[in-house]
Structure 1
Amino acid sequence: MSFRTLKQLRLVAGETGLDRVVTWPYIVQTNSVKMWIFGGELLFFGGLGLKCDMDSLVELLKEAAEKNASGIIFLANDEMTSEVIQSLKPYADDLRMPVFELPRESIIVEITKEISSKILEEESRTSITEHLLERLCFGDTESVHEWVSKAGYYGIDLNIPYQVAVLYIDNLSGYLNRMNMEWDHSFSKFISFYRQVVVSIVKRYDDSLLTMYSNNVVYLAQQTGPEQDQMRFVQKLQWISESINTYFKGIDVYACLGGAYPYSALKNSYLEAERSMEITCRQNDKNRVSLYEDLGVYQLFFSLKEEELRRFCSRWIGSLVEYDHKNGTELFRTLDIFFTNKMNLIDSAAELYIHRNTLNIRLNRIEKIIGKSLKDTDTLHSLLFGVLIKNYLDRKTA
Structure 2
Amino acid sequence: MTSTKNNELSNIFSFFNHGGDYYFQEKRMVISSTDAWGVLRKDLIDTLGIQRAKRFLLRYGWNCGKNEARMLKDLVDWENDMDWLVAGSQMHQIGGRVLSYPEYFQVDMEKGTFHVSGHWVDSYEAKQHLQHYALYHEPICYFLIGYGGGYTSECMGKRVIFKETECVGKGDKQCRYVAKTVEEWGSEIDDDLINYEEQDIADELDIVYRRVERQSEILHVGTSITKNLTFALLQDKGMNDFAKILADDLSLPVFIQNQYFEDIAHYAEETYVNIQEYQWENMREFIKQKVSDRVLTQTESYEMTSHQHLLVSPIIIQNDVYGYISIYRERAPFGDAETDFLERAASICAVKMLNERTAIQTEERMKGDLLEELFKSETNTADIVKRFSYFGYNMNTPHYVVTFELPNYSLFPESEVPNTNKGNSPLKALMNFFDREETHFHTNFVKLQKYNKVTVLISEGYLHKKKIDIKRFAEECYALIQKEQKTDLVYIGVSKICTDAEQYSKRYKESIKAIEVSKARNRLMNTINSTIVHADELGHIMILLDARKPEELLAYAHEFLADLKSYDEKNSTELIRTLYYYIENECNLHKTAREMNVSISGMRYRITRIEEIIGVDLSKASSKFEIQISLQTYMVFNLL
- Specify if TM > 0.5: yes
Identical residues among aligned pairs (%): 12
Alignment partner of 1:83 out of 297, 305, 325: 305
State the match for 2:468 in structure 1: 235
Matched residue, 1:260: 498
Structure 2 unaligned segments of length 5 or more: list them. 1-237, 265-285, 311-322, 410-419, 485-489, 522-528, 586-591
Kindly provide the amino acid, as one letter, of the partner of residue 483 in structure 2. G
Q: Residue 372 of structure 2 is aligned with which of 110, 113, 138? A: 138
Instruction: Give the Å deviation of 1:81.
Output: 3.6
* CA distance, structure 1, for counterparts of residue 538 and residue 406 of structure 2: 21
2:355 to 113, 121, 126: 121
Residues 320-359 of structure 1 show CA distances to partners (whole Å, capped at 9, x for unaligned) of: 46x749x94467x631464169564476589xxxx99877
State the shift of 1:293 in Å: 4.8
Give the CA deviation at 1:270: 1.6
The answer as to 2:239 corresponding to 1:2 is: yes
- CA–CA distance in structure 2, aligned partners of residues 118 and 367 of structure 1: 72
**In the alignment, is the contact (CA less than 8 A) between 1:135 and 1:143 conserved in 2?**
no
The Cα shift of 1:385 comes to 1.6
Q: Which amino acid aligns with 1:198?
A: F
Superposed CA deviations along residues 237-288 of structure 1, whole A, max 9, x for unmatched, are 56755765787783689572445376677333322233345668979776xx
Q: How big is each residue's C-alpha offset from its partner over 1:98-118, in whole Å with a ceiling of 9 and x where there is no partner?
A: 995545325233222223223
* Distance (Å, rounded) in 1 between the aligned partners of 2:578 and 2:309: 59
Gaps of 5+ in 1: 22-56, 89-96, 174-182
Give, in whole Å, the separation in 2 of the partners of 1:284 and 1:359: 37
1:110 lines up with 2:344 in the alignment: yes
Is the Cα contact below 8 Å between 1:138 and 1:267 reproduced in 2?
Answer: no
Task: Show the counterpart of 2:576.
Answer: 335
What is the rounded CA distance, in whole Å, between the counterparts of 1:138 and 1:201 in structure 2? 23
Aligned to 2:610: 366
Q: Secondary structure at the match of 1:235?
A: coil
SS in 2 for 1:250: helix
Which residue in 1 is equivalent to 2:455? 218
Q: What whole-Å deviation, never above 9, does each CA across 1:42-81 have from its counterpart, x for those lacking one?
A: xxxxxxxxxxxxxxx99x957x4346x6x899754xxx44
**Structure 1 pair 120–348 and aligned structure 2 pair: CA distance change class (3 A):** farther
Is the alpha carbon distance of 1:305 and 1:184 closer, same or farther for their aligned partners in structure 2, counting shifts above 3 Å? closer
1:260 alignment partner, SS class: coil
Deviation at 1:389, TM superposition (A): 2.5
Matched ranges for 1:22-33 at <5 A: none
SS at match of 2:483: coil
Where relative contact order (Cα < 8 A, 6+ residues apart) is larger, the structure is 1
Name the CA distance, whole Å, in 2 between partners of 1:295 and 1:380: 18
Task: For residue 344 of structure 2, give the secondary structure of its aligned residue in structure 1.
Answer: helix
Residues 100 and 197 of structure 1: CA distance in aligned 2, closer, same or farther (over 3 Å): farther
- What CA RMSD, in Å, does the superposition of the two structures yield over aligned residues? 5.5
Instruction: Determine helix, strand or coil for the equivalent of 2:404.
Output: strand
Number of aligned residue pairs: give it: 318
Q: Is 1:65 aligned to residue 288 of structure 2?
A: no
Normalized against structure 1, the TM-score is what? 0.56
Summarize the Cα distance change of 1:259–1:388 in structure 2 as closer, same or farther, 3 Å threshold. Answer: same
Please state how far the C-alpha of 1:2 moved relative to its aligned partner. Answer: 1.9
Q: What is the CA-CA distance between 1:201 and the residue it aligns to?
A: 0.8
What is residue 508 of structure 2 aligned with on the other side? 270
Provide the C-alpha distance between the structure 2 equivalents of 1:301 and 1:347, rounded to a whole number of angstroms: 30
Alignment TM-score, normalising by the size of structure 2: 0.38
Please say if residues 325 and 342 of structure 2, whose CA atoms lie closer than 8 Å, have aligned partners that are also in contact: no
Quickly say closer, same or farther: Cα 1:191–1:136, change in 2 above 3 A. same
Does the residue aligned with 1:168 lie in a helix, a strand or coil?
strand
Corresponding residue for 2:444? 207
CA distance in 2, matches of 1:312, 1:266: 30
Tell which structure's C-alpha radius of gyration is larger: 2
